[in-house]
Amino acid sequence: MIDIPLQTGIMLSGILFFMGFLGVLVRRNIIFMLMSVEIMLNAAGLAFVLAGSHWGEADGQVMFIFILTMAAAEVSVGLALILQLFKHFKSLDSDSFNKMRG
């Protein structure tokens, strides 16, 4: 097995996180924004796993399982909300939801 240096892995996780964040900012479609948030979560999870393997601790993987569970729950709630929003606005454009403010 090739030993990947920690820095490379952290950099990958950082790039993933930034891509996800960029996705949240630039996409208008709410489903894509949700997916971008998922990428950000996984980037964070990857950082945990890397750190765990670096120090030889199981905590990192435990944390990742937590994040996975939380992400699943979050997605189910998020998708349900998106469904409701789509029913109401007949659109998935996040900017069109600004009529809700008040």
Contact positions toward other proteins, by CB under 8 A? 21, 24-26, 28, 30, 33, 94-95, 97-101
User: Which of 30/71 has CB closer to other proteins?
Assistant: 30
Spatial CA neighbour of 48 closest among 58, 38, 35, 37: 58
Question: Would the CA dihedral through 64, 66, 14, 24 be positive or negative?
Answer: positive
CA distance 29 to 20: 14
User: Which of 25/58 has CB closer to other proteins?
Assistant: 25
Q: Are 16 and 39 in contact (CB under 8 A)?
A: yes
User: Which of 28/88 has CB closer to other proteins?
Assistant: 28
Find the shortest distance in angstroms from Cβ 99 to other proteins.
7
Find the shortest distance in angstroms from Cβ 53 to other proteins.
25
User: Which of 38/61 has CB closer to other proteins?
Assistant: 38
Find the shortest distance in angstroms from Cβ 86 to other proteins.
15
